[in-house]
A and B are shown apart, each in its own frame.
Chain A
Amino acid sequence: MFGFGKKKKNISVTVPMTGKIVPLDQVPDPAFAQKIIGDGVAIEPEQGSLVAPFDGEVVHLIDTLHSLVIKHDSGLEILIHIGVNTVSLQGKPFTAFVKTGDSFKKGDKLIDFDIAAIKEAGLPVITPIVVANGDVVESLKIHEGSAAASSGELMEVVLK
């Protein structure tokens, strides 16, 4: 096209885990529920598999394997945190298929997690998925309902 100036860019974040999409205020951790860490959405997972919601790279995988920050080729960063207080599980119910610095394609396995083990430990498995660098974002459109991993769009992010 022949547009002048910078064209706004829309990034599609596909559903990264099978489950029910719920608002962030359902997450029983104020850092997420009050959007302190970032704006986004949460999924109450029904299957213990997290897959990549776009092509990108792992900026940071925490050494206890329950959380990671991934970066879209546009620069958009998304933080995904499997469960609440799951840092205390020291990585046990988690299997990571990537490490910090790895590239991945949409749909690639990132982390498997044992939902039953997390629940047995008395912890919620609800998973916030939030923008980690909100300064690059103009607006977010969030989809709701139940969804299967990689089946559709979770969020549409419009970059500045």
Chain B
Amino acid sequence: MEKQFTIKNPQGIHARPAGAIMKKANEFPNATISLEFNGRKVSAKSITGVLTLGMKAGDAVNVITEGDQAAEALDAVGAVLETVLD
């Protein structure tokens, strides 16, 4: 499954929001959850992967999920991407 979400955090995805994304993604151990932005695709379960995308406020990011609870994972991780966590 795939859906686009927009980053809302004013300071972009720095360590704390990246940690929140990773934590949420890891609540779905049997789903593969990827983030795709700017031509790169990373695992949402990797803090390094999430940080290296360098996502800023207003950026549109694709969330791609496969496996168990793919739909729930898509909505849950997307919701964190659109949360303001500064």
A residues in contact (CB < 8 Å) with B? 29, 31-32, 36-38, 59-60, 62-64, 67, 69, 77, 79, 81, 87-88, 100, 132-133
* A67–chain B nearest beta-carbon distance, Å: 6
Residue of B19, B48, B54, B86 near A36 (CB, 8 A) is: B19
Known interface pairs A36-B23, A37-B47, A38-B47; A79-B15 also in contact (CB < 8 Å): yes
* Cβ A133 vs Cβ B46 within 8 A: yes
Using a Cβ–Cβ cut-off of 8 Å, how many residues does chain B contribute to the interface with A? 16
Interface centre among A29, A31, A69, A77 (most CB of B within 10 A): A31
Taking CB atoms, residues of chain A closer than 8 Å to B52 are: 59-60, 69, 100
* B37–chain A nearest beta-carbon distance, Å: 14
* Cβ B51 vs Cβ A88 within 8 A: no
Taking CB atoms, residues of chain B closer than 8 Å to A29 are: 16
Question: Would you call B31 an interface residue if the criterion is a C-beta within 8 Å of the partner chain's C-beta atoms?
Answer: no
* Cβ B14 vs Cβ A79 within 8 A: no
Question: Would you call B4 an interface residue if the criterion is a C-beta within 8 Å of the partner chain's C-beta atoms?
Answer: no
> When chains A and B are docked, how far (Å) is the Cα of A59 from the Cα of B86?
23
* Cβ B48 vs Cβ A87 within 8 A: no
* Cβ A79 vs Cβ B48 within 8 A: yes
Taking CB atoms, residues of chain B closer than 8 Å to A31 are: 15-16, 19-20
Q: Which residues 39-76 of B sit at the A interface, judged by CB distance below 8 A?
A: 46-48, 51-52, 54
* B20–chain A nearest beta-carbon distance, Å: 7
Other A-B pairs beyond A77-B48, A133-B48, 20, CB < 8 Å: A29-B16, A31-B20, A36-B20, A36-B22, A37-B19, A38-B47, A59-B52, A60-B51, A62-B14, A62-B15, A63-B54, A64-B11, A69-B47, A79-B15, A79-B48, A79-B51, A87-B15, A88-B11, A100-B52, A132-B46
Residue of A nearest to B17 (CB): A31
* A35–chain B nearest beta-carbon distance, Å: 10
Taking CB atoms, residues of chain A closer than 8 Å to B54 are: 60, 62-63
Taking CB atoms, residues of chain B closer than 8 Å to A88 are: 11, 86
